[in-house]
Amino acid sequence: METKPWHQHYDYNVPTTIRYPRLAVHNLVELPANTYPDKPALSYFGTEVTFWELRTQILRFANALAALDIKKGDRIGLHLPNCPQYPIAYYAALSIGAIIVNLNPLYTPDELKLMANTSGMTTLITFDMALPAIRTLCRDVKIDRVIVTAVTDYIKGFPVSSAKSLDLEEGWLHFSELIDKTTSTRRSKVEVNPRDPALIQFTGGTTGVPKGAVLTHGNVIAAVMGCALWGNPTISLTLPERRTVMAVLPYFHVFGNILVMNWAMFSCATQIQVPRFNIDEMIGLLANLNEITFFPTVPTLINALISHPKAEELNLAKKIGLLSSGAAPMAAELIDKVKDMGIYFSEGYGLSESTSVGIFSPVLGMKKVGSIGIPIPDNDVKLVDIDDGVTEVAQGQPGEIIMKGPVIMQGYWNNPEETAGQLKDGWLYTGDIAIRDEDGYMFIVDRKKDMIIAGGFNIYPRDIDEVLFQHPKVAEAVSLGVKDEYRGETVKAYIVLKSGESCTAEEIISFCKEKLAPYKVPKLVEFRESIPKSAIGKILRKILREEEEAKQKK
Whole-number percent of the chain with pLDDT over 70: 97
The 10s digit of each residue's pLDDT in 157-185 is 999 999 999 999 999 999 999 999 999 99
pTM for this prediction: 0.85
Own/partner long-range contacts of 172-178 (Cβ < 8 Å, ≥24 apart): 172/146, 172/147, 172/148, 173/68, 173/145, 173/146, 173/147, 173/148, 174/147, 174/148, 174/149, 175/85, 175/89, 175/125, 175/147, 175/148, 175/149, 176/149, 178/61, 178/64, 178/147
pLDDT band at 206 (very low <50, low <70, confident <90, very high): very low
The 10s digit of each residue's pLDDT in 20-62 is 999 999 999 999 999 999 999 999 999 999 999 999 999 999 9
Residue 153 has pLDDT above 90, yes or no: yes
DSSP type of residue 169: P
What pLDDT shows up at residue 208?
47
Q: Which of helix, strand or coil describes residue 128?
A: helix
The 10s digit of each residue's pLDDT in 335-387 is 899 999 999 999 999 999 999 999 999 999 999 988 999 999 999 999 999 88
DSSP 447-477: EGGG-EEETTEEE-HHHHHHHHHHSTTEEEE
Residue 483 has pLDDT above 90, yes or no: no
What pLDDT shows up at residue 299?
83
Sorted by where each starts, the structural domains of the chain and their CATH numbers stand as 5-19+208-447 (3.40.50.12780), 25-192 (3.40.50.980), 451-553 (3.30.300.30)
User: Looking at residues 123-140, what average pLDDT do you find?
Assistant: 97
User: Looking at residues 220-246, what average pLDDT do you find?
Assistant: 97
The 10s digit of each residue's pLDDT in 274-292 is 998 888 899 999 999 999 9
Residue 56: C-alpha distances to residues 3, 71, 92, 252, 537 (Å): 43, 21, 10, 23, 34
The 10s digit of each residue's pLDDT in 299-318 is 878 888 888 888 888 988 89
Residue 531's nearest CA partner among 502, 495, 499, 504 is 495
pLDDT band at 484 (very low <50, low <70, confident <90, very high): confident
Residue 448 has pLDDT above 90, yes or no: no
What pLDDT shows up at residue 270?
98
Bridge partners (DSSP) listed for residue 295 = 323
DSSP 84-117: THHHHHHHHHHHTT-EEEE--TT--HHHHHHHHH
